[in-house]
Structure 1
């Protein structure tokens, strides 16, 4: 029987750019495992992520707007899928490895907390050494998934997940050790901001937090006046200015990178730190902080709800509690908070007559 994986690996060498990451040249996994006869290594990683519990929970985690009543607002799941779509489009246009690109994109936010960046901020204050969702995403795929065994992904995928985030820093610049070591990882890094800048603006307009006239006119001229035009302009700009033959990295034009950075700053000021949004996230922050402190003081409550005992050392104990809370969905966190802190009527047994 023909080995389909080897045939697909040969197709990669025949069609991809010489600087692409090739599946049969992967740096390997933390634990050796037999290769799949059907799927190259990066495709196998993509499937592992897609079938993980952490990926399914993204459906019920906030992107920006907390539990919106409308059906068309983004969640962490839809954000992830939009990042994957943009990144795959770029990978195909540049002849880079789509399977690796998609695997990194699907896994990049697995460590995100409930209630978006509000949850991340709470855990950052409560955990020694701080909390960052991108390092938590790496922890999910290397340690937490599959009852502590992790997904055993390739080093290329783990590296891309761990270096996807920019915060408020440079999109593609900065020190070399801040960027993914594969071009495919760099594609996901830029696709992440292309996706969230556009869909967060779209959701803010839909939710009445912004009007299109609030957006600086210069940004609309450079980026475009509609959601689809903005994404198209950004994607075309990346393809045009990324010179793989010349040995360059993934890049944007100077004007596009400046406009994208300005749009991100505008969204931070007008949307992410908007009083209406911030007020609700303050309530969410209190919920998570209260649960964290309760579990720290009452290990038996943690055992009852998380199904595991807390270690004796406080730093390790805080780490385990943070892992549990970070993995919650918005819905689970809200229900658990009510169970822990909101009194319930005592059930009365009616005597038989």
Structure 2
């Protein structure tokens, strides 16, 4: 009995013709024997969940640095919320849920400590620049398993690399900006649906903003409650896409406009708020100090066996710092820069 083949046959019968089928994957970087139980995309999802980089996400900042409360989002809870939203939409559209979940769970593996503050520092100091989505791909291709990587399928790797949109359009017309699969494109949208809503929720919890501060036009279109806003965005994508039936993802224009306005509001009133931005500046300063320290003194994490001679010290430093949790980065800063009393 080969359960994997049965599952692949079920995919052919049940999933949309537009869905990516695990039996038709473009393959892995290195050929390997197929599993008799799990499909290729199931194996990718499982490999990501068991990765060290995935476990470290629980101690990486989403927006609020080292929050005192237990209910603020971390990079891990953000990832889980993205996966949940993406799977809901994938199931409704009869797309491949396993592929969708694998991309969602892996999309932020390369994110730095202290959120986008850390990313900005590495991008500034590394001559080659730094982008977290490229680092996420580097994690699964190379850094995990002592330089062997996870050997994921092409579709998952493509989705991880193409998930980020920054301040750009949620659904850009330029197809080169999008993942090749609809599953990868879904994760891109799920990512922004997740952070728009949970960052707003955390900002309200932290008294950074009040409910009355949220643009009324956004509340009118999206809803007044956290769950209602997520539901509005998710349903708009599902039903607009089903109605168009043209092989592309769609969201109602009024909902897109409300999402864009809400994103602008978060940048202006939350991400750049003095109480948030001030802490980000502190994080940037001490990460810069760590970067320059490693540049001058070398790395304590010198896994020379995984690098070739052409790998620059800047790349090694980026790998090291990007892999840190917030608390590990703080502990290293204290170790190298905070004076300690002389033992008597």
The equivalences for 1:40-119 within 5 A come to 40-119=39-118
DSSP-derived class of the 2:149 partner: coil
Deviation at 1:312, TM superposition (A): 11
**1:288/1:252 Cα in 2 relative to 1: closer, same or farther (>3 Å)?**
same
* C-alpha distance after superposition, 1:48-93 (max 9, x if no partner): 0000000000000000001111111000000000000000000110
Deviation at 1:253, TM superposition (A): 1.1
**1:312/1:250 Cα in 2 relative to 1: closer, same or farther (>3 Å)?**
closer
Deviation at 1:346, TM superposition (A): 3.5
Q: Give yes or no for contact 1:87–1:187 (8 Å, CA) kept in 2.
A: yes
**1:314/1:125 Cα in 2 relative to 1: closer, same or farther (>3 Å)?**
farther
Match of 1:167 in 2: 166
DSSP-derived class of the 1:77 partner: helix
Deviation at 1:247, TM superposition (A): 2.6
Deviation at 1:344, TM superposition (A): 1.9
The equivalences for 1:331-346 within 5 A come to 331-346=327-342
Deviation at 1:288, TM superposition (A): 0.8
DSSP-derived class of the 1:306 partner: coil
Q: Which has the larger radius of gyration?
A: 1
**1:308/1:327 Cα in 2 relative to 1: closer, same or farther (>3 Å)?**
same
- Candidates 329, 335, 341, aligned match of 2:325: 329
**1:7/1:312 Cα in 2 relative to 1: closer, same or farther (>3 Å)?**
closer
Match of 1:207 in 2: 206
Distance of 1:156 and 1:220 partners within structure 2:
36
DSSP-derived class of the 1:173 partner: coil
Distance of 1:50 and 1:138 partners within structure 2:
15
Match of 1:317 in 2: 313
User: Does 247-256 or 177-186 show the bigger shift?
Assistant: 247-256
**1:312/1:111 Cα in 2 relative to 1: closer, same or farther (>3 Å)?**
closer
Deviation at 1:309, TM superposition (A): 5.1
Match of 2:292 in 1: 293
User: Does 258-267 or 313-322 show the bigger shift?
Assistant: 313-322
Query: Which residues of structure 1 form unaligned runs of 5+?
Result: 349-353
User: Does 278-287 or 305-314 show the bigger shift?
Assistant: 305-314
Distance of 2:243 and 2:319 partners within structure 1:
39
Name the Cα RMSD after superposition.
1.6
Deviation at 1:176, TM superposition (A): 1.0
Match of 1:306 in 2: 301
The equivalences for 1:265-276 within 5 A come to 265-276=264-275
Q: Give yes or no for contact 1:128–1:315 (8 Å, CA) kept in 2.
A: no
Q: Give yes or no for contact 1:164–1:186 (8 Å, CA) kept in 2.
A: yes
Query: Which residues of structure 2 form unaligned runs of 5+?
Result: none
Distance of 1:314 and 1:147 partners within structure 2:
18
Q: Give yes or no for contact 1:87–1:191 (8 Å, CA) kept in 2.
A: yes
Deviation at 1:315, TM superposition (A): 7.6
Distance of 1:258 and 1:295 partners within structure 2:
45
* 4+ residue segments displaced more than 6 Å: 310-315
The equivalences for 1:126-165 within 5 A come to 126-165=125-164
Match of 2:23 in 1: 24
The total of aligned residue pairs comes to 343
Match of 2:252 in 1: 253
Distance of 1:126 and 1:105 partners within structure 2:
28
**1:280/1:192 Cα in 2 relative to 1: closer, same or farther (>3 Å)?**
same
Distance of 2:57 and 2:308 partners within structure 1:
31
TM-score, normalisation: structure 1 = 0.94
Residue 227 of structure 1 pairs with residue 222 of structure 2: no
Distance of 2:42 and 2:73 partners within structure 1:
26
Distance of 1:83 and 1:218 partners within structure 2:
25
Distance of 2:76 and 2:33 partners within structure 1:
30
